[in-house]
């Protein structure tokens, strides 16, 4: 199935471990852009990184798979993924504060 034939999905993801101060958001944006996904990523006060990502199911699954290890200086202890409603009209993937 080509990406244009796949259903569009959106996932809310929380990544825990040593995921702040290791360019996790930057690398997440790079991976999401490479995969043609939309959404956002941000650091949370509890030390986790949270994101919402949207796009073809296979591409979203690929990004979520990457989140299980992240960039080389990160140490991922856990990844929690939840389905959320798709947002129409969203463009781009960005890091937010």
For residue 5, the model assigns a pLDDT of 80
Domain positions in the chain = 21-95
Q: Is 25 a known active-site residue? A: yes
Q: Is 97 a known active-site residue? A: no
Q: What is the pTM of this model?
A: 0.93
Higher pLDDT, 3 or 34: 34
Which CATH fold topology does 21-95 show? Alpha-Beta Plaits (3.30.70)
**Of 42, 43, 50, 94, which is the active-site residue?**
43
**Of 10, 11, 18, 25, which is the active-site residue?**
25
How does pLDDT run across 37-88, given as a tens digit for each residue?
A: 999 999 999 999 999 999 999 999 999 999 999 999 999 999 999 999 999 9
Give the integer Cα–Cα distance in Å for 97 and 40. Answer: 10
- The residues, ordered by sequence, that sit 6+ positions from 28 with a Cβ below 8 Å of its Cβ are 41, 49, 51, 63, 67, 70, 95
Going through 1-97 in order, the beta strands assigned E by DSSP cover 8-18, 38-43, 49-56, 75-84, 93-95
For residue 97, the model assigns a pLDDT of 86
């Amino acid at each position: 199935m080509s990406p244009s034939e796949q259903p569009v999905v959106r996932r809310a993801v929380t990544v825990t471990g040593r995921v702040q101060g290791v360019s996790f958001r930057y690398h997440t944006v790079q991976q999401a852009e490479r995969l043609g996904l939309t959404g956002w990523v941000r650091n949370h006060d509890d030390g986790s990184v949270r994101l919402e990502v949207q796009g073809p199911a296979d591409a979203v699954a690929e990004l979520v798979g990457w989140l299980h290890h992240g960039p080389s200086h990160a140490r991922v202890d856990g990844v929690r993924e939840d389905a959320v409603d798709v947002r129409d009209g969203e463009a781009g993937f960005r890091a937010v504060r």
